[in-house]
């Protein structure tokens, strides 16, 4: 994120804080849709042959989902019926949804089909058998084989549990064939916050080999879904080049490519502003409790085993201390930031940038703190000066499982 953009968010946050009551107010989000727009455009430029199916699980905020729908998103990766319903309510055609979930109940498979979803995946014989029993009710369901190609350097591996290892593929492919089910393509995910492009290359190699085998059985698979893993920490242009070159090298140009980026689209566009509500000064360090922690808005600390940087919103240039910031819960591991920071006081505000990925979506109400319903303030779009609007019925009928309450105001 450029320093200019940071400054814009910073000033916007200060404006909001100045209008709020420091004593009683809790934290809030800032949504900067221009950053998601930039991410969509950059993604499409780097991967011109690949359709962008935003992974809703990363951040199901309805304003974001609607914004992606209206601004170049080609479709959505949904993991559950609730995600599917939200995406459809927000205007995306069910034909543009991939139900990228390895484990679905029979009920979920049938409901998703009734809602119009036609693309899913399997990674086990048991799931193939389940689909086989429902075959007459889901005649034109397209099925991808989820395979493994893992980036060992990814911050969060999805290998092991999800996807077929190379020596398991033939068995499941043959089972699909014997059960007279469709086989339409390959799906893989190299791991979240990936660093190495080798796993994309390897995934495309396995995809190519599996497609060739399927063709020998009489199938005509024409989809490869390369999953997510992209971030703003590793050049998307580099990933894009390797993927595009490999597509040409393996003669995969007639295949429809999908990708399911989550973090790359949602991460940068949300910042969180938290209030200091407690301070404990020890000899050489200060513990701060802020209004939100690893079980709330900054929940990405838990699954990514990272702490996140924050910056004082109203710096006074005080003495520097090693500072530990944690949430309000009774969990002593609820720590979200460790850094040298000027001394702060209760009532001061700090801002966390780029916190849109796996934060709101993993947020709990642990200890009774209603973290899922923090307000979101929208920076207007640069070109139109408009804020993102939702169809009015979504405000009323949002999917509570995804989003406690919209709780959203324009400043």
Positions in the binding site for ligand PLP (CB under 6 A) = 55, 58, 77, 100, 158, 189, 192, 227-230, 260-264
Provide, rounded to whole angstroms, the least separation between the CB of residue 107 and ligand PLP.
Answer: 21
CB closer to ligand PLP out of 104 and 263: 263
CB closer to ligand PLP out of 27 and 191: 191
* Beta bridge partners of residue 333, listed in sequence order: none
**CA 254 from chain center: how many Å?**
28
Provide, rounded to whole angstroms, the least separation between the CB of residue 243 and ligand PLP.
Answer: 14
From the number of C-beta atoms within 10 Å of its C-beta (0-12, 13-18, 19+), residue 107 rates as: exposed
Provide, rounded to whole angstroms, the least separation between the CB of residue 254 and ligand PLP.
Answer: 24
For residues 20 and 347, is the Cβ–Cβ distance under 8 A?
no
* Beta bridge partners of residue 52, listed in sequence order: 259
For residues 225 and 189, is the Cβ–Cβ distance under 8 A?
no
CB closer to ligand PLP out of 16 and 204: 204
CB closer to ligand PLP out of 154 and 290: 154
In the complex, residue closest to ligand PLP by CB = 228
SS3 (DSSP) at 123: coil
The contacts of residue 235 (CB under 8 Å, 6+ apart) are none
Provide, rounded to whole angstroms, the least separation between the CB of residue 309 and ligand PLP.
Answer: 20
For residues 131 and 109, is the Cβ–Cβ distance under 8 A?
yes
- Give me the count of residues in the chain: 411
CB closer to ligand PLP out of 16 and 55: 55
Provide, rounded to whole angstroms, the least separation between the CB of residue 321 and ligand PLP.
Answer: 34
CB closer to ligand PLP out of 233 and 249: 233
d(CA 172, CA 132): 13
Provide, rounded to whole angstroms, the least separation between the CB of residue 237 and ligand PLP.
Answer: 16
Identify the DSSP state of 48. Answer: T
Q: Report angle CA 262, 267, 272 to the nearest 5 degrees.
A: 140
CB closer to ligand PLP out of 272 and 369: 272
Label the pairing between strands 349-352 and 311-312: antiparallel
Provide, rounded to whole angstroms, the least separation between the CB of residue 85 and ligand PLP.
Answer: 18
Provide, rounded to whole angstroms, the least separation between the CB of residue 233 and ligand PLP.
Answer: 11
The closest alpha carbon to 163, from 146, 143, 185, 187, belongs to: 146
**The dihedral of CA 164, 169, 175, 181: what is its sign?**
positive
Provide, rounded to whole angstroms, the least separation between the CB of residue 358 and ligand PLP.
Answer: 7
| Secondary structure element (H or E) that encloses residue 9, with its range | helix 3-18
CB closer to ligand PLP out of 52 and 290: 52
CB closer to ligand PLP out of 113 and 264: 264
| Phi, psi dihedrals of residue 56, rounded to the nearest 5° | -60, -35
Q: Can you state the angle between helices 198-216 and 236-249, rounded to 10 degrees?
A: 30
Q: Cβ–Cβ contacts within 10 Å for residue 257, how many? A: 21
């Amino acid at each position: 994120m450029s320093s200019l953009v940071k400054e814009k968010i910073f000033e916007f946050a200060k404006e909001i804080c100045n209008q709020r009551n420091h004593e009683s107010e809790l934290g809030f989000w800032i949504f900067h849709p221009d950053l998601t727009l930039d991410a969509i455009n950059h993604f499409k430029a780097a991967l011109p042959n690949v359709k962008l199916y935003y992974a809703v699980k990363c951040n199901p905020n309805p304003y974001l989902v609607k914004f992606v729908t209206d601004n170049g998103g080609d479709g959505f990766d949904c993991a559950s019926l609730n995600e599917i319903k939200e995406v459809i309510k927000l205007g995306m055609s069910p034909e543009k949804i991939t139900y990228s979930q390895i484990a679905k109940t029979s009920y979920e498979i049938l409901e998703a089909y009734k809602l119009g979803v036609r693309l899913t995946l399997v990674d086990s014989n048991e799931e193939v058998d389940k689909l086989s029993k429902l075959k007459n009710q889901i005649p034109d369901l397209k099925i991808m084989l989820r395979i493994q190609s893992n980036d060992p350097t990814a911050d969060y591996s999805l290998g092991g549990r999800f996807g077929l290892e190379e020596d398991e593929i033939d068995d499941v492919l043959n089972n699909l064939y014997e059960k007279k089910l469709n086989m339409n393509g390959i799906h893989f995910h190299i791991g979240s916050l990936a660093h190495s492009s080798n796993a994309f290359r390897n995934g495309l190699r396995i995809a190519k080999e599996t497609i060739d085998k399927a063709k020998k059985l009489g199938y005509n698979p024409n989809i490869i879904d390369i999953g997510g893993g992209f971030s703003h920490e590793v050049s998307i242009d580099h990933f894009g080049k390797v993927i595009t070159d490999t597509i040409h090298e393996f003669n995969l140009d007639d295949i429809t490519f999908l990708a399911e980026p989550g973090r790359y689209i949602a991460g940068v566009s949300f910042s969180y502003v938290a209030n200091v509500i407690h301070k404990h000064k020890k000899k050489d360090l200060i513990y701060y409790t802020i209004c939100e922690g690893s079980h709330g808005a900054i929940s990405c600390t838990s699954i990514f085993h990272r702490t996140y940087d924050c910056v004082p919103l109203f710096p006074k240039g005080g003495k520097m201390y090693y500072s530990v910031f944690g949430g309000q819960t009774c969990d002593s591991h609820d720590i979200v930031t460790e850094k040298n920071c000027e001394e702060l006081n209760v009532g001061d505000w700090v801002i966390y940038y780029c916190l849109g990925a796996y934060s709101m979506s993993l947020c709990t109400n642990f200890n009774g703190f209603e973290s899922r319903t923090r307000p979101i303030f929208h920076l207007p779009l640069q070109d139109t000066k408009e804020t993102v609007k939702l169809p009015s019925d979504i405000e009323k009928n949002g999917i509570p499982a995804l989003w406690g309450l919209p709780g959203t105001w324009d400043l």
